[in-house]
A and B are shown apart, each in its own frame.
Chain A
Amino acid sequence: MKNYQLGEFEEIVLLTVGILNNEAYSVAIKDEIESRLKRTVSMGALHTALIRLEDKGYLKSFSGESTEDRAGRPRRYFEITALGKKAMLYAKETREQLWKAIPKAVLEVSLQKLAVGSHQ
């Protein structure tokens, strides 16, 4: 089985591209992540992730129309490739497998603790 390398931030970016579907370009992705996950995203970091994902073949890009609000620069839109989709599924499956493998007791304790904590 092929090994899909996918970092945490990369996974988030990949997922966001999926969410935005056809409208995914750098600033939109940044805004989406920031609004959904309540965390700031630096343009540089996002860009690096996008480049890496494209290098790995999980994303492909095409340049769109140039617009006034970008001082004439074209947008670059991203799209998830088939490989990218497989990688996302793989990541999801491995997580689920790991979730399933955790003994119930472990989860309960911590859940109880969480519950206790939340009651306070």
Chain B
Amino acid sequence: MEKQNQPDLENQDQPTRVLTDRLQQKLDYVTTLRQAITAGDDRLIYELIDGDHYHQALLNEEPDSTRNAQVDLITDVHPAISHYLSTKLIDYLAREYPFFYYEETHLGEFQIYFGNWWDRRRFGKLNVLKVAFEFDSDEFNKLQQTFALAATHKRFNTDQIQKISAASDQLQKLIDAQSDRDDQKDTLRKQLKENGQRNSLFDSGRIKEERQQIIDQLTKLADQDEQANNAHAAMKDNEAKILTLSKEDTILAYEKQAIENAFKSFENFNERNRSLYVDYLTTLIGKAQVADDEQ
């Protein structure tokens, strides 16, 4: 832009001067961000996109919302910035959290997968701009319970599996007892026949009552027969349920193992998650200093 075309600054009124100053600040902000990206200065980018958080978390300063005066300028390019920042962040996370895998489902949006085993779980999202995991609460709670149950040598689904197994055992007993029931039915039918042949004028009440008892027993046996007939299908259902539960237990055991290998305990893991922003930014600062020293 040519100088002579610029309006005379002297002639601007106060509000206009404020306006041009503010626009200049915006230009400076965006220019700095652009340069930081060109220079690969991820630390500076983090400072620019949320300066208030940066100063509080890393420099222990008081909150000051003016630090974030310009951040709304770039919200529309957040996905692209997130995509850009993910490269170094995921490199770092791969070392610190070797069991997490990421998939960029949309520009700058990252799904977390836990582990590389069969049917590993989707565990939540990685918020690159905030340097934070956003775990799926259901999945996280299961893992938490897995750690809690370990003290009692139980897995997440141990009780449920035991319950289903017991039900299957019961069904198997019903199937095994088929010939016993057949014998009982034979005996009862004979008794019923004898009962029918006994015609006593004086004892008819007792005979009737006896007859009803036999019929009740036969009905009960018939019910058990039917249960036994359906038992195979029910047991197959149970098998499928147990498989699903065992699979989940196996996955949770692998997750627990992975966390213990990397962090010793679930508590340490959670602590590291909480300090992830500071830890990561600190390494970026450290790298920047090393680079400066080398120059």
Partners in one complex: no
Q: Mark A residues whose CB is within 8 Å of B.
A: none
Q: Mark B residues whose CB is within 8 Å of A.
A: none
